[in-house]
């Protein structure tokens, strides 16, 4: 599995990328920025070491936008697909939207982050680990959520 790579692209196909497995983690983010950027109840992200990630085509079609003081999101200028998120606190890794991969990766989503910011109209998998708080990644008890 470690030598396997998985490709992905935006909706229109102008931006293409690949990732060499293994990934670091995969989980759903319930923060309000992710919801608006994707027009979705939550967004499923895959985190990968930068050394295992490459943009294969369409780098000039990527629009980068600072979505907070510690994060830069990028999307395809032509079709609007949200693609990547780069965070200053994890400079050696990159967040990639799971939905843009062409095939399966090496793990299923295993937790919900920023869970205390979730919307109440989105069905939730109770089996996944729930994280929240200021960083969005702190363990939270069911009663606080
Ligand atoms: Zn596109
Ligand atoms: Zn988020």
* Per-residue pLDDT tens over the stretch 16-40: 999 999 999 999 999 999 999 999 9
Q: Give the pLDDT score at 142.
A: 63
Q: What is the distance in A from the centroid of ligand 1 to the CA of 15?
A: 6
> Could you tell me if 46 and 90 are in contact, meaning their C-beta atoms sit under 8 angstroms apart?
no
Query: What pLDDT digit, counting tens, does each position of 75-132 carry?
Result: 999 999 999 999 999 999 999 999 999 999 999 999 999 999 999 999 999 999 999 9
User: Ligand 2 centroid vs 71 CA: distance in angstroms?
Assistant: 10
Domains of the chain, start order? 5-139 (2.170.150.70)
- Identify the pLDDT of residue 141: 73
For the cut 90, the answer to whether the pLDDT of residue 2 exceeds it is: no
> Whole-angstrom Cα distance, residue 116 to residue 100?
26
CA of 97 to the centre of ligand 1 (A): 14
Confidence of residue 73 (pLDDT cuts 50, 70, 90): very high
Cβ 8 vs Cβ 16: under 8 Å: yes
What pLDDT score was predicted for residue 144? 55
């Amino acid at each position: 599995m470690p030598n396997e790579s998985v490709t992905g692209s935006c909706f229109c196909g102008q931006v293409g990328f690949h990732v060499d497995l293994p990934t670091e983690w995969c989980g759903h983010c319930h923060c309000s920025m992710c919801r608006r950027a994707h027009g979705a109840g939550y967004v499923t992200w895959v985190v990968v070491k930068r050394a295992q990630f490459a943009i294969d085509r369409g780098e000039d079609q990527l629009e980068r936008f600072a979505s907070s003081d510690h994060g830069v999101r990028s999307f395809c200028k032509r079709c609007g697909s949200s693609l990547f998120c780069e965070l200053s606190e994890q400079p050696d890794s990159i967040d990639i939207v799971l939905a843009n991969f062409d095939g399966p990766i090496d793990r299923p989503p295993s937790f919900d982050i920023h869970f205390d910011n979730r919307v109440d109209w989105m069905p939730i998998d109770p089996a996944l680990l729930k994280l929240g708080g200021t960083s969005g990644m702190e363990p939270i008890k069911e009663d606080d959520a």
